[in-house]
Amino acid sequence: MHAYRSHTCAELTKSNVGDTVRLSGWVHRIRDHGGVLFIDLRDHYGMTQVLCDPDSAVFAEVEKLRSEWCIRIDGEVKARDESLVNPKIVTGEIEVFIRDMEVLGGANELPLMVFGDQEYPEETRLRYRYLDLRREAMQDNMKLRSDVVASIRKRMWDIGFREYQTPIITASSPEGARDFLVPSRLHPGKFYALPQAPQQFKQLIMVSGFDKYFQIAPCFRDEDPRADRSPTDFYQLDMEMSFVTQQDVFDTIQPVIKGLFEEFGDGKNVDQTWPQISYRDAALWYGTDKPDLRNPIKMQDVSEHFRGSGFAIFAKLLEHEGNEIRAIPAPTGGSRKFCDRMNAFAQKEGLPGMGYIFWRDQGDGMEAAGPLAKNIGPERTEAIREQLGLGVGDAAFFLGGKPHAFERVAAKARVTIGEELGLTDENRFAFAWIVDFPMYEADEETGEIDFSHNPFSMPQGGIEALEGNPLDVLGYQYDLSCNGYELVSGAIRNHKLDTMIKAFELAGYDEAEVRKRFGGMVNAFQFGAPPHGGCAAGIDRIVMLLAGTSNIREVIMFPMNQRAEDLMMNAPSDPTSDQLMELGLRVIPKDD
């Protein structure tokens, strides 16, 4: 017999009754029923009930067992009584009588229990991640992640892509986040960078004549953490294609993503049609470039109805260029109680409040109620109702000012309204391509122009488009949103050297700086670069949605905490003096 097991804890069935077997695993739970000890023995595959009575030669040793001890048992498979069959587990028709036992690894008092569904602080869970990962939900999440990655690889190979690996130690590149720098021992004073993405390399692969590339790529970004973003590293499905348009990229990656959600989405509906929404319209309708289309609410610009109206706050706002008044329709939200609740929501978000109108039945007709309705009068109120397509029992909420100042709160309010009124379809994965991103943005304080998205994107209209106002230039850049999260980001690349140099020049990089920082691409583009484009899909975020969680750390094996610390491995840690000396570095203490 094998040294540790003849079967896993998910294999034994009624057909094994009478067999002598060997199992290894962890003590999940111990129950004492009148002197007979019942143990749920768990391994990666499942659970088997084993038991020991006082007649067993190892009963005294079994009595010493505690939760999470790792043990090996030899025993005889017996059928359970019909009344004791457990249909919830594969091995529920049998149990194993222990004849021999060996403790493979004892366990101290546990800082968190594996059995049960108790909640523990995240810091505890991350510090003892190896225990946390033993829990059923975490085992399921990690198996899901592995299965998703395997499915991605198969799907990409099936449509003609090959996987190629790109370097991990490379040069710094502007990808919108801070680099993790790596000091060079052989070149004192110089630094490598961990790649924020394989951006330049995958473009160079296209220049090298490879038509299709993909990679399950590790990416490293020194970012501020969020629930849906890791502060240090993440994995993405990275892909690139030559001789393609934006639509070609959509037509290639869409079946891959759709297939993943149909395969692993636990039966939820997956949208078959994915609309293409301009960045400008997404901001107007949803207040975000990653809208949750499960919620049918669309915001609208209602500025004209308040211009010169009796509602002085909005009327005065509209006297200044760039200000707007937007309405958030709330079908079925037409009660003062709900309106007051949303007004309190806005105040918690740092706004003075949120104006509202709601429409109610007065017996002889419909009445518009609320402070705004009284201030602007029935004619303007009726025009707003007609524009928004609302009726009795509905409401609308209003925010005003410069859109970039209130869009975040408006987007959050839209989501909250959809959830509270039961308008959001929770049993659905709703996708949308966001297109026509602006190439550039201006710093609010300095007015300086910088890239707003991927700096290597092709401007719509080519180099001629770069001759006018940079803020009017749109790029062939696109994102894919799903249920309020960005899943995919990509672009058609700028493969023309003169266009690339001009694009960077508008963002404050002169030609010498471009040649210095991106010498590999600059040189390559002088030797027949093909038109190319691609995208990257965030694997962690995809698995997070499929697992039904909103915390990305639930689907990463060993994540950092919110402060970018690995409590289990004690990272980041202080370097030794010898390490610093070898690298020619000195740490300057930061003033408190």
pLDDT in tens, 428-458: 999 999 999 999 999 888 889 999 888 899 9
pLDDT at 592 (0 to 100): 62
Q: Where are the domains of the chain?
A: 14-105, 295-424
The H-or-E segment that residue 213 falls in is strand 212-220
Residue of 435, 477, 485, 430 whose CA lies nearest to 276:
435
Under-70 pLDDT residues of the chain: 173-176, 592
pLDDT at 228 (0 to 100): 79
CA 499 from centroid of its chain's CA atoms: 33
Dmax (CA) of the chain: 93
pLDDT at 176 (0 to 100): 64
pLDDT at 174 (0 to 100): 61
Coil, helix or strand at residue 399: strand
Pairing of strands 276-278, 431-435: parallel
Topology given in CATH for the domain delimited by 295-424 = Gyrase A; domain 2 (3.30.1360)
Q: What angle do CA 285, 288, 290 make, to 5 degrees?
A: 110
Alpha-carbon gap, residue 258 to 268, rounded angstroms: 12
Coil, helix or strand at residue 75: strand
Residue of 283, 267, 200, 270 whose CA lies nearest to 240:
200
User: If phi over 0 gives left and psi between -120 and 50 gives alpha, with beta otherwise, what is residue 585?
Assistant: beta
pLDDT at 177 (0 to 100): 77
pLDDT at 267 (0 to 100): 96
CB distance 240 to 206 below 8 Å: yes
Residue of 52, 46, 78 whose CA lies nearest to 64:
52
CA 19 from centroid of its chain's CA atoms: 48
* CATH number, domain 14-105: 2.40.50.140
Q: 194: which strand partners?
A: 180
Q: Taking the model in full, what pTM does it have?
A: 0.93
pLDDT at 453 (0 to 100): 82
Residue of 364, 373, 298 whose CA lies nearest to 339:
373
CB distance 274 to 257 below 8 Å: no
